[in-house]
Amino acid sequence: MLFRAKGFDAVSMDEVAKGAGVGPGTLYRHFTTKESLYDAVLEAWAEKVNTAVDQALSLDAPAREQLLKWLTDFAAMLTEHKGAAARITAALGDPGSPFAAKCQTYLGANQRVIDALDSALRPGVEAMQISRLVGGVAAVADNSDLPADSVASMLSIIVDGLLAA
Amino acid sequence: MLFRAKGFDAVSMDEVAKGAGVGPGTLYRHFTTKESLYDAVLEAWAEKVNTAVDQALSLDAPAREQLLKWLTDFAAMLTEHKGAAARITAALGDPGSPFAAKCQTYLGANQRVIDALDSALRPGVEAMQISRLVGGVAAVADNSDLPADSVASMLSIIVDGLLAA
DNA sequence: ACCTGAACACCGTTCAAGT
DNA sequence: ACCTGAACACCGTTCAAGT
């Protein structure tokens, strides 16, 4: 879709309307705002999250590797759509945001990881902290078009910080 | 100044012009773009960075505490102006950005910290990595208006990841 | 009922016209 | 030479008018 290629901010509602063969007014009868349209665009993609958690946790490897795999996938999924990472991360604490459902999915996924890895982790880590840390890295990677290995090296630092001392 | 209170995006060039008692055209004779005006606004504030490094490094405390103090100050300074953290962090790899000078200051400051703490740190850490990690946290904190202790707990995780295993 | 597309409010930026 | 402010291009969003 348009948003994936050019990014949320670079696609105007007129373009979307034209692409869909309708007037801009019709768009607004289906979606109250541009962000809620974007939320709908991200619908299917958000479902991949839990699959990624399953994969990472079923890895026959130490906690450090499982965690790194999950966070790498997480960051990659956030970066898949330009502009999504910053928006979703900003919405993490805001129940009124159009992305609220997506945020719950993410927080839930990170909670599952915390529950599974449990004793290997630093005591007291919260799903919200992980979500924000990785969301922040993803947003930076998105803004600066960072290569995968730059992202990996930053995530590696975070992973070490998340493991029990 | 206006930018500090309301944030970069919430202040229009017309407002700035009116506040300065000139027409918008005059503003553009002094600054080629809105971002370069913002860069000028941030001028004095950027000089605080090296002072903050000095203070942190002169602390009579273990490396962990010195690092945490510096990163906390760093993040606080980035969050001081709404919208600055994301912009400066995004500009870190872009020499053509209006914020390029500021980025050099930041990178230099983090390099000084790396040189000073040296053996206490994980081998191979780069100033760019620290700048982006903390810039990402600051941007998230800025977007979501996070309280200081939320920021502190995230920085603490990063600090642990930055220390030698 | 449903859709259209002109119109609105608001940007950053420019430039012909004034002094 | 320097400044002004109307004008331009482009947004997201609305709504009177058509079918």
Average pLDDT on B80-102 reads: 95
pLDDT tens, A45-60? 888 999 999 999 999 9
Sign of CA dihedral A143, B154, A53, A35: negative
Q: Average pLDDT, whole number, for chain B? A: 95
Q: Residues B75, B138: contact at Cβ < 8 Å?
A: yes
pLDDT at residue A140 in the model: 98
% pLDDT > 70, chain B: 99
Provide the 10 A C-beta neighbour count for residue A23: 12
Rounded CA separation A107/B120 (Å): 33
Rounded CA separation B105/B101 (Å): 6
Task: Check if residue A11 sits with its Cβ under 7 angstroms from strand D.
Answer: yes
Contacts of B86 in chain A (CB under 8 A): 86, 139, 143
CA-closest candidate to residue A76, choices A48, A96, A36, A102: A48
% pLDDT > 70, chain A: 99
| A76 and chain B in contact, CB less than 8 A | no
Long-range contacts of A53-59 (CB under 8 A, 24+ apart): A53/A109, A53/A112, A53/A113, A56/A113, A57/A112, A57/A113, A57/A116
Average pLDDT on A22-34 reads: 95
Average pLDDT on B154-160 reads: 98
pLDDT tens, A117-155? 989 999 999 999 999 999 999 999 999 999 999 999 999
Listed by number, the residues of chain A in 11-30 with a beta carbon closer than 8 Å to a beta carbon of chain B are none
Per-residue DSSP letters for B1-69? Answer: -HHHHH-GGGS-HHHHHHHHTS-HHHHHHH-SSHHHHHHHHTHHHHTHHHHHHHHHHT-SS-HHHHHHH
Q: Is A133 exposed, middle or buried (0-12, 13-18, 19+ CB in 10 A)?
A: buried
| A133 and chain B in contact, CB less than 8 A | yes
Confidence check: pLDDT of B139 > 90: yes
| B135 and chain A in contact, CB less than 8 A | yes
Q: Residues A113, A54: contact at Cβ < 8 Å?
A: no
Best residue in A155, A157, A158 for a mutation probing chain B (most B CBs within 10 Å): A157
- Residue B58 tokens read as 């002169």
Best residue in B160, B162, B163 for a mutation probing chain A (most A CBs within 10 Å): B160
Rounded CA separation A149/A151 (Å): 5
pLDDT tens, A70-125? 999 999 999 999 999 999 999 999 999 999 999 999 999 999 999 999 899 999 99
Per-residue DSSP letters for B77-135? Answer: HHHSSTTHHHHHHHTTT-TTSTTHHHHHHHHHHHHHHHHHHGGGBPTT--HHHHHHHHH
Residue of A nearest to B93 (CA): A144
Which DSSP helix (H) or strand (E) runs through A119? Answer: none
Rounded CA separation B93/B98 (Å): 12
Confidence check: pLDDT of A160 > 90: yes
Largest CA-CA distance found in chain B, in angstroms, rounded: 58
Q: Residues A138, A75: contact at Cβ < 8 Å?
A: yes
Provide the 10 A C-beta neighbour count for residue B2: 15
CA-closest candidate to residue A67, choices A135, A137, A116, A132: A116
Average pLDDT on B153-164 reads: 96
Upper half-sphere CA count for residue A113 (Cβ side, 13 Å) = 38
Task: Using the structure, give the distance in angstroms from the CA atom of B18 to the C1' atom of C14, rounded to a whole number.
Answer: 18
Q: Residues B13, B30: contact at Cβ < 8 Å?
A: no
Whether A132 sits inside 8 A of B140 (CB atoms) is yes
Whether A139 sits inside 8 A of B140 (CB atoms) is yes
B120 vs B67, B102, B114, CA distance in Å? 10, 27, 9
Contacts of B157 in chain A (CB under 8 A): 122, 125, 129, 133, 158, 161-162
Task: Using the structure, give the distance in angstroms from the CA atom of A16 to the C1' atom of C2, rounded to a whole number.
Answer: 19
Rounded CA separation B85/B149 (Å): 18
